Amino acid sequence: MARKSGSHSEITGPRIRSVAQSLIARHGFAAVSMRQIAAEVGVRAGTIYLYVADKQALLYELMETHLDTLLAAWEAVPVPEDPTEALHAFTSFHLRFHFERPEEVFIAYMELRNLTPENFAKIEARRRAYEAALEAILARGAASSAFDLPDPRVTTMAIIAMLTGVGTWYRDGGRLSRGEVEAIYWRLVRRMVQGA
Amino acid sequence: MARKSGSHSEITGPRIRSVAQSLIARHGFAAVSMRQIAAEVGVRAGTIYLYVADKQALLYELMETHLDTLLAAWEAVPVPEDPTEALHAFTSFHLRFHFERPEEVFIAYMELRNLTPENFAKIEARRRAYEAALEAILARGAASSAFDLPDPRVTTMAIIAMLTGVGTWYRDGGRLSRGEVEAIYWRLVRRMVQGA
DNA sequence: GTCTATAAGGTGATAGAC
DNA sequence: GTCTATCACCTTATAGAC
C-alpha cells in the first residue's frame, strides 16, 4: 500500500496482477483505471507498463492464468472408472475450486465481452476443454446405462451453471458450511442423471 | 438512426432506453458512453438528459423495468395446486421469459455492481421476491411429500442458476428448438426434486 | 526500477441559443 | 425539442529524467 522508491521488480509485477484482480472483480474491468490499480499497488500509472503491455493484456493474462490453473488442477484429479464416482469427483472438484477462487471465477464469467476477439477465442477454447471433461463423464455413464440423460450436452451446461451459481449466494460463515453445500449439490446432481 | 431536427418527444425517450439496452448488453454499462447512446439514437449527448436524470438512473430504470415485468408476468400465470405441475409451470415460464429477453436478463445479472447501494437494494428486493415464488412451490411440495429436497433454499438457487444458464449457450436456429430445450430442462428439474 | 511530465482524446453533465 | 459550446476532469499510453 505504502509508496516507496527503490527496487521491487520481483514483487511489483505479481502485485499489479493481484491488485487488478481484486479491483476488477469488485468494480468491473471497464470501470477500473490503470491509475487506480497503480495507486493501490503504490506506484505511478506509468510503472504498470513496465510489467504489462497494455490494459487488454492485463485482463487476458488474469483469465488465461485462471483457466490454465483450473485445467491443470482437474488433470491432477484421479478420475474413478465408475461413472457415478467420476461425476462425484467432478462435482466436488468444481465446487471446491470455485469456493477458493471467487474473484477469478467472477472475472472469467463477467469480463468475456471485454476481451478482443482473438483473446476471447483463446479463452473460449479453454472453457470448452473444461466442459468437455464433464461431458465425457456423462457420455460414458450414459453408454454404460449408469446414467439416464435427456441430452449430454445440455446436461453438461445445466450442471456447470448450477454448480458455478454457488458464487452468487454462498458466503463463508453463513447458514451452511462448504461441506454441507457440497453434499446438497451432489445429491441434486446425482438425481439429475440417475438411471431408471 | 438518421438524425433529424424537430419534435420527437414521444419516441426519443423510449428509443434512448432501447438503444441503451442493446449497447449495454453488448459492451457493458461502464464501457458505453452517453455520446455513443446519443449517436445511435440520432441526437446529441445533451438531449439524453431531457429524458434521463443521469447515467445511473438510466441503468436503474432498465433493471427495474425488467424485474417488474418479470414479476408481473409471473403473477399472471395460473399456478396449479399440484406441486409438480406448479414446478412445471415455473420452469416453462422462466425459460420462455428468458428466451424472449436475453438483453434484459444479461444486464440484470451483469450490471448489479454498477448500481448505487440504494438502487442495488431495490433491485435485490425484487430478485428475492422472484426467488421466493419458486421457493414457496418447493416448500409446498416438500411438505406434501410430493418432493424430496435436500434443502429448499439451495435447491431454489440451483434451479434458477441452471435455468438462467441457457442464456450462455442457447441460440435460435441451433441444434435444439426452444421447445426441446424446455423439455430437457423440465426433465432435469423434475428429477432433482422427485420424491422417493 | 520508478518517477515526472505530457500527448491526444474521451467522460458526464450543464447553460443558453434557436 | 434539440442543438452548440463548454466545463472540469479522467483516460490510456509514452518519453525521457534520475
d(C-alpha B190, C-alpha B146), whole Å: 11
Q: If you average pLDDT over residues B39-62, what whole number do you get? A: 97
Instruction: Determine contact: A112 vs chain B, CB below 8 A.
Output: no
- Give the angle subtended at the CA of A129 by the CAs of A123 and A135, to the nearest 5°: 140
Average pLDDT, rounded, for chain B: 95
Q: Express as a percent the part of chain B with pLDDT over 70.
A: 96
Angle at Cα B130 formed by Cα B129 and Cα B133, nearest 5°? 90
Residue A143, C-alpha cell as written in the block: 453408454
Contact B163, B185 (CB under 8 A): yes
For residue B162, pLDDT over 50 is answered with yes
CA distance B31 to B36: 10
Q: Does B168 touch chain A (CB under 8 A)?
A: yes
Least CB-CB distance to A169: which of B30, B157, B175?
Answer: B157
- pLDDT tier at B3, thresholds 50, 70, 90: very low
Per the CB < 8 A criterion, the answer to whether B98 and B105 are in contact is yes
| Amino acid letter, residue A141 | G
**pLDDT tens digit sequence for B13-29:** 999 999 999 999 999 99
Q: Which of A59, A154, A194 to mutate to test the interface with B (most CBs of B within 10 A)?
A: A154
* B-chain residues near A166 (CB < 8 A): 157
Grouping H, G, I as helix, E, B as strand and the rest as coil, residue A177 is coil
State residue B5's pLDDT score.
53
- By the 8 A CB rule, do B26 and A112 touch? no
Check whether B2 has a pLDDT greater than 50. no
All structural domains of chain A: 1-52 (1.10.10.60), 57-193 (1.10.357.10)
The CB density around residue A155, as the number of other CB atoms within 10 Å, is 24
Confidence of residue B10 (pLDDT cuts 50, 70, 90): confident
Q: What is the pLDDT of residue B195?
A: 78
CA of A114 to C1' of D10 (A): 20
Q: Are A90 and A134 in contact, with CB atoms under 8 Å apart?
A: yes
pLDDT at res. B1: 43
**pLDDT tens-digit series, residues B94-142:** 999 999 999 999 999 999 999 999 999 999 999 999 999 999 999 999 9
* Chain A neighbors of B188, CB-CB under 8 A: 150, 155, 158, 192
> Over A121-166, what HEC string results?
HHHHHHHHHHHHHHHHHHHHHHHCCCECCCCHHHHHHHHHHHHHCH
What CA–CA distance (Å, rounded) separates B47 from B7? 12
Greater pLDDT, B46 or B5: B46
pTM listed for this prediction: 0.95
Round to a whole number and report the distance in Å from the CA of A47 to the C1' of D13: 11
How many alpha carbons lie under 13 Å from residue A115 in its C-beta half-sphere? 20
Nearest CA in chain A to B29: A30
Per-residue pLDDT tens listing for chain A (196 residues):
444 456 677 899 999 999 999 999 999 999 999 999 999 999 999 999 999 999 999 999 999 999 999 999 999 999 999 999 999 999 999 999 999 999 999 999 999 999 999 999 999 999 999 999 999 999 999 999 999 999 999 999 999 999 999 999 999 999 999 999 999 999 999 999 997 5
CB atoms within 10 A of CB A170: 18
What's residue A2's pLDDT?
A: 43
Closest chain B C-alpha to A187 CA, distance in angstroms: 7
d(CA B1, CA B4): 9
Measured CA distances, B174 to A15, A45, A122, A156, B170 (Å): 44, 46, 23, 17, 7
Q: State which residue has its Cα closest to the C1' atom of C1.
A: A7
Instruction: Encode pLDDT of B168-191 as tens digits.
Output: 999 999 999 999 999 999 999 999
